[in-house]
A and B are shown apart, each in its own frame.
Chain A
């Protein structure tokens, strides 16, 4: 059994309480939500924290999916399983269900949260790619108030985010635009593994024409821009195999994978291309079918 180094533990009873604790305890304090990244790191002694602030009691305050007319708001403590099982989310943004189905395993999904996933800022993490694809914005709260940052600003590098000391991520906001849909695809060596490469795509259409599109990639280097070159290439175009191929080529050219045990850089680049094409095609199929969520799933 792997055992962590000594640490102090406190349960936060409200967001304000958690922020107060973070301010008081300083840089050696960490929040724990689902704990599926932090606890293994503690057991492997890869992190040296002195205080653990457990925010699981904040699930009542921060665990929600609220559907507005022009915006969806997801509380940071919303569990993977809740995202997977939300019919509203599946109808509006099927990319969530696509991704959640291939994130880790049911045990992890029962506990892990969207806030924890984004704050871990692992470059292979799936929900960061989903939020990038959907151009989500993150609400970061501190004792002096809230600020809202784009994914591009939220993600500062591997395991580094815009959340400053004394702050916490509380909510994720996603704008709702008409005639859109989305999809996600992941290649993994085994069920539950981190992505070798994954891609998310969102498209919005006006009749046969694509009005906007974004692509988010995971595990192929930092990527939180939605790949504007793909958006430019697709806007105003009717979807064709050649267009998908062009988008795939742009995706491959705009990522920076490295070779590791999961695969070679060349292979990952190939997957960025292949999966970009697959997810764009599926998202377009979904828009055209007029059903946002329930078609075109794998299997």
Chain B
């Protein structure tokens, strides 16, 4: 069969199958979404609800001299005006970040970035609340800002965090991985060393739904109900208990339908706390929904790494070592969301998919007068930066060695028999068949033919580029022995109840922001207990109705919660087996499981279905000795390791020699996420992530002027790609199960976001080879590509 025929077959797969477990099926949640009947935070309407708006700093760095709220308070529709000073009296002016730093809820002493929260108004409607903001008079004593990350540690740089005791500079933290001396020794004896300065600019997840909350504090019961745009409702509840001093059992956090997260909705934002305070002081439910500008200029950004990368190899292309020195811009507060022992996230996997002799990474993180954040935009805890760095370095090496980038990668892949493979920075990769995935991608792409075409076009003066990237991710944080966020272990609970009629409800600690959990998790359970997915309800996003767990980010839902769902279903099945043995009057050992029923071995006529067992479990008949009624179980799953999905991506671009515009002509993505639960959902995740990659590679960047004004505060200024910028995605897959995951699955939600930017940049740089270009930084806008063609590719910051 030709590739075209094979693709045609894939394109025409029936997506509306009814698998009794894993398989392609339409998403259960889509009927409400496609009809516009999803219920998002802003759809929540409570009796007597008021509206909150936040006054934000117009400048990047200034001392607050005075705030006059009298005119705002006199507005007839205003119910409350609250400043940092008022919060300070309640002990709520500052809150902990997820990285053991503190962040101002409302500024008391200084403002530290443009868009920082200064005061809030609660009013009868959102128009009045917004109008009243203009009546608040704040006097600022403007200070020089720190905007250029490279100058943040200069001796004369203004100190941003003078709120921290004894702080005399803008140093945030240092971090190191690997063996510096051993790596230096390898570099010393290498035939070839390639050094490149590589910037991953600041980008923003820009979810379609901005952040917001509805807080409803019941004074009589002392009970807080908070609807919020949270990817981690349980973790948020615990933090509110710690920050606000409210008893945890009196707090209910509800994450309703979420319109995209991408990490943007992991942190607790000052706005959520303001909404809670607003409800407490007005004794009414209070809604806060930020607008697009607020979302772009103040909430969790991503990346912002200035990296010097070095790669050492033999003359014939055996890669020996990589090392890097990173300057990380963390903004005004360290708001990175990452496990405590991993201040640089999982950047340590910058060794990539290659068998190396040594590696070393050194990082300095600094404060600047910009919004806080860092881990967001489907980055798998900084793996995006790591993969981009190593995949660019490998291409730079291929350029210098004049070697095909595929051949160079093939020569250096970790081989299947080397798994589990411990990298030089200490990560234990669980399983991989890298060459198989790469070969599949080459075949789908028709790689040799593409190279022939490229040679012909180059001869005619046309600029065609072919980019290759291979990534390995580390997802599914994580083992509680060394991963926690603010002391909370990264395990996830799951509860499964089978009702008497054989329908079931599974309750999860993770929350979907569009990933399709209501379908995937029903399928995981269905696969284990043989109840059809449509008969299994998935409950999530409500702390009162779900077991504790740390939430959805870093592609952790399937690796952690997915394992919990499979194991809890097996626990229920084990009990069902005992009940079945009673019903069939045989010993447990004489039963065999046929998906959906237990049957007596060798006697297919004698069997009971899971539905019959459920009725017996809840019914009046006898149960085997020692067996309680009911058919349900609960579990808390602590992963023994992360899972390591991987993939081979090939991108084909055409660059207009006259205008320097880049057109992504083709993109071939072969992903391996182990066992595939719902291939259609996986493909959807891949399509979305690849589109993200086009955005980051070609157009997205949060930029600032020298005064610290954010220049990307609207979707007219901060561009995200449309269908017109992306090709018809060509996806393929291989399956290498995770050996330690109960069903062999690995996370996949961020694979494409991680893997696609280097493939696209590698393709554009390849197209520019006739100009002698080895590297050009993202975003590769027409203007920046043209700069590269003139021989001066410039860093974006």
Q: A261's contact among B711, B721, B725, by CB below 8 Å, is which?
A: B711
Q: Is the Cβ of B782 less than 8 Å from the Cβ of A187?
A: yes
**Which positions 752-797 of chain B face chain A at CB distance < 8 Å?**
781-783, 786-787
The size of the chain B interface, using a CB distance under 8 A, is 32
Contacts beyond the supplied A1-B289, A190-B719, A261-B711: 19 A-B pairs with Cβ under 8 Å: A1-B42, A1-B291, A2-B291, A2-B292, A5-B130, A5-B131, A45-B134, A187-B661, A187-B782, A189-B699, A189-B719, A190-B724, A263-B782, A263-B786, A264-B783, A264-B787, A267-B787, A271-B659, A274-B658
The 25 listed contacts between A and B (C-beta, < 8 Å) are A3-B126, A3-B127, A4-B127, A5-B130, A6-B127, A44-B714, A45-B134, A187-B659, A189-B698, A189-B699, A189-B719, A189-B781, A190-B699, A190-B724, A194-B716, A261-B711, A261-B712, A261-B717, A262-B781, A262-B783, A263-B786, A264-B787, A267-B786, A271-B659, A274-B658
Question: Is B722 interfacial (CB-CB < 8 Å)?
Answer: yes
CA distance A80 to B729 in the complex (A): 32
Q: Is the Cβ of B782 less than 8 Å from the Cβ of A3?
A: no
CA distance A267 to B291 in the complex (A): 34
Q: Is the Cβ of A193 less than 8 Å from the Cβ of B782?
A: no
CA distance A85 to B783 in the complex (A): 32
Q: Is the Cβ of A44 less than 8 Å from the Cβ of B293?
A: yes
Interface size grouping (class) on chain A: 20 to 34
Q: Is the Cβ of B783 less than 8 Å from the Cβ of A3?
A: no
CA distance A243 to B725 in the complex (A): 34
Decide yes or no: A278 and B722 within 8 Å by CB, A2-B291, A261-B717, A263-B782 being known contacts.
no
Q: Is the Cβ of A263 less than 8 Å from the Cβ of B127?
A: no
Question: Is A196 interfacial (CB-CB < 8 Å)?
Answer: yes
Chain A interface (Cβ within 8 Å of chain B)?
A: 1-6, 44-45, 105, 187, 189-194, 196, 261-264, 267-268, 270-271, 274-275, 278
Q: How far is the CB of A293 from chain B (nearest CB, A)?
A: 23
- Chain A residues positioned under 8 Å from B783 (CB to CB): 196, 262-264, 267-268
Residue of A nearest to B42 (CB): A1
Question: Is B703 interfacial (CB-CB < 8 Å)?
Answer: yes
CA distance A113 to B782 in the complex (A): 29
Residue of B nearest to A263 (CB): B783
Q: How far is the CB of B792 from chain A (nearest CB, A)?
A: 10
CA distance A168 to B86 in the complex (A): 51
Q: How far is the CB of B555 from chain A (nearest CB, A)?
A: 27
CA distance A278 to B711 in the complex (A): 32
**Which positions 704-725 of chain B face chain A at CB distance < 8 Å?**
711-712, 714, 716-717, 719, 721-722, 724-725
Q: B722's contact among A191, A196, A264, by CB below 8 Å, is which?
A: A191
Residue of B nearest to A271 (CB): B659
CA distance A78 to B776 in the complex (A): 44
Q: How far is the CB of A280 from chain B (nearest CB, A)?
A: 14
Residue of A nearest to B701 (CB): A261
Q: Is the Cβ of A190 less than 8 Å from the Cβ of B782?
A: no
CA distance A274 to B783 in the complex (A): 13
Residue of A nearest to B212 (CB): A1
- Chain A residues positioned under 8 Å from B293 (CB to CB): 2, 44
The number of inter-chain residue pairs (CB within 8 angstroms) is 68
CA distance A189 to B720 in the complex (A): 10
- Chain B residues positioned under 8 Å from A274 (CB to CB): 658-659
Q: A3's contact among B130, B698, B711, B722, by CB below 8 Å, is which?
A: B130
Chain B interface (Cβ within 8 Å of chain A)?
A: 42, 126-127, 130-131, 134, 289, 291-293, 658-661, 698-699, 703, 711-712, 714, 716-717, 719, 721-722, 724-725, 781-783, 786-787
- Chain B residues positioned under 8 Å from A271 (CB to CB): 659
- Chain B residues positioned under 8 Å from A275 (CB to CB): 659
- Chain B residues positioned under 8 Å from A5 (CB to CB): 130-131, 134
Residue of B nearest to A265 (CB): B783
Decide yes or no: A193 and B659 within 8 Å by CB, A1-B289, A264-B783, A267-B782 being known contacts.
no
CA distance A261 to B703 in the complex (A): 8
- Chain B residues positioned under 8 Å from A194 (CB to CB): 716
Q: How far is the CB of B210 from chain A (nearest CB, A)?
A: 8
- Chain A residues positioned under 8 Å from B721 (CB to CB): 190
- Chain A residues positioned under 8 Å from B714 (CB to CB): 44
Q: How far is the CB of B629 from chain A (nearest CB, A)?
A: 51
Q: Is the Cβ of B719 less than 8 Å from the Cβ of A193?
A: yes
- Chain B residues positioned under 8 Å from A192 (CB to CB): 722
- Chain A residues positioned under 8 Å from B712 (CB to CB): 261
- Chain B residues positioned under 8 Å from A263 (CB to CB): 781-783, 786
Residue of B nearest to A264 (CB): B783
- Chain A residues positioned under 8 Å from B787 (CB to CB): 264, 267
Residue of B nearest to A278 (CB): B658
- Chain B residues positioned under 8 Å from A45 (CB to CB): 134
Q: Is the Cβ of B291 less than 8 Å from the Cβ of A189?
A: no
Residue of A nearest to B658 (CB): A274
Residue of B nearest to A190 (CB): B719
CA distance A274 to B660 in the complex (A): 11
Q: Is the Cβ of B722 less than 8 Å from the Cβ of A190?
A: yes
Q: Give me the 10 closest cross-chain CB pairs, A-B, nearest first.
A: A263-B783, A191-B724, A267-B783, A2-B291, A274-B658, A190-B719, A267-B786, A187-B659, A3-B127, A3-B130
Q: Is the Cβ of A189 less than 8 Å from the Cβ of B782?
A: yes
Q: Is the Cβ of A270 less than 8 Å from the Cβ of B786?
A: yes
Q: How far is the CB of B57 from chain A (nearest CB, A)?
A: 16
Q: B725's contact among A3, A191, A270, A278, by CB below 8 Å, is which?
A: A191
CA distance A40 to B786 in the complex (A): 32
- Chain A residues positioned under 8 Å from B659 (CB to CB): 187, 271, 274-275
Decide yes or no: A190 and B130 within 8 Å by CB, A2-B293, A267-B786 being known contacts.
no
Residue of B nearest to A185 (CB): B659
- Chain B residues positioned under 8 Å from A278 (CB to CB): 658
- Chain B residues positioned under 8 Å from A4 (CB to CB): 127
CA distance A187 to B656 in the complex (A): 11
Q: How far is the CB of B460 from chain A (nearest CB, A)?
A: 17
Decide yes or no: A196 and B717 within 8 Å by CB, A1-B126, A2-B291, A6-B131 being known contacts.
no
CA distance A3 to B123 in the complex (A): 14
Residue of A nearest to B717 (CB): A261
CA distance A5 to B721 in the complex (A): 31
Decide yes or no: A190 and B725 within 8 Å by CB, A267-B786, A278-B658 being known contacts.
yes
Residue of A nearest to B725 (CB): A190
Q: How far is the CB of A249 from chain B (nearest CB, A)?
A: 14
- Chain B residues positioned under 8 Å from A105 (CB to CB): 722
- Chain A residues positioned under 8 Å from B658 (CB to CB): 274, 278
Q: How far is the CB of A34 from chain B (nearest CB, A)?
A: 16
- Chain A residues positioned under 8 Å from B699 (CB to CB): 189-190
- Chain B residues positioned under 8 Å from A261 (CB to CB): 703, 711-712, 717
CA distance A139 to B698 in the complex (A): 42
Q: How far is the CB of A261 from chain B (nearest CB, A)?
A: 6
- Chain A residues positioned under 8 Å from B292 (CB to CB): 2
Q: How far is the CB of A190 from chain B (nearest CB, A)?
A: 5
Residue of A nearest to B130 (CB): A3
CA distance A261 to B721 in the complex (A): 16
- Chain B residues positioned under 8 Å from A190 (CB to CB): 698-699, 719, 721-722, 724-725
CA distance A44 to B294 in the complex (A): 11
- Chain A residues positioned under 8 Å from B711 (CB to CB): 261
- Chain A residues positioned under 8 Å from B786 (CB to CB): 263, 267, 270
- Chain A residues positioned under 8 Å from B722 (CB to CB): 105, 190-192
Residue of A nearest to B790 (CB): A266
Q: How far is the CB of B24 from chain A (nearest CB, A)?
A: 31
Residue of A nearest to B794 (CB): A264
Q: How far is the CB of B235 from chain A (nearest CB, A)?
A: 28
CA distance A106 to B563 in the complex (A): 45
- Chain B residues positioned under 8 Å from A2 (CB to CB): 291-293
CA distance A105 to B712 in the complex (A): 21
CA distance A225 to B717 in the complex (A): 29
Residue of B nearest to A260 (CB): B711
- Chain B residues positioned under 8 Å from A193 (CB to CB): 716, 719
CA distance A117 to B292 in the complex (A): 25
- Chain A residues positioned under 8 Å from B42 (CB to CB): 1
- Chain B residues positioned under 8 Å from A44 (CB to CB): 293, 714
- Chain B residues positioned under 8 Å from A3 (CB to CB): 126-127, 130
